[in-house]
């Protein structure tokens, strides 16, 4: 797993909805707290076989994050 902390202005629950609509999946950080924490964090599972699709999806996710500014 890879834990990423993004800019405080990014809500990964909103990002999740956008990514999921493109069949990209990750765990929003808020899932890992019973309190209102980690809203700008996400967890990626990189145990999958590295394929062109995985690489492309990571690039798409990176662009989605970048476009939030």
pLDDT, one tens digit per residue, over 13-64 is 999 999 999 999 999 999 999 998 999 999 999 888 999 999 999 999 999 9
Is 58 exposed, middle or buried, given 0-12, 13-18 or 19+ CB atoms closer than 10 A?
middle
| pTM, to two decimals | 0.87
* pLDDT of amino acid 47: 86
Q: 54: alpha, beta or left, given left = phi > 0 and alpha = psi -120 to 50?
A: alpha
When pLDDT is cut at 50, 70 and 90, the band that residue 69 belongs to is confident
* pLDDT of amino acid 36: 87
Q: What is the DSSP letter of 2?
A: E
């Amino acid at each position: 797993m890879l834990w990423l902390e993004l800019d405080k202005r990014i809500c990964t629950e909103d990002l999740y909805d956008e990514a999921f609509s493109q069949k990209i999946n990750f765990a929003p950080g808020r899932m890992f707290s019973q309190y209102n924490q980690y809203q700008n964090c996400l967890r990626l599972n990189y145990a999958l076989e590295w394929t062109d699709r995985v690489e492309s999806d990571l690039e798409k996710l990176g662009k989605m994050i970048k476009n939030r500014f």
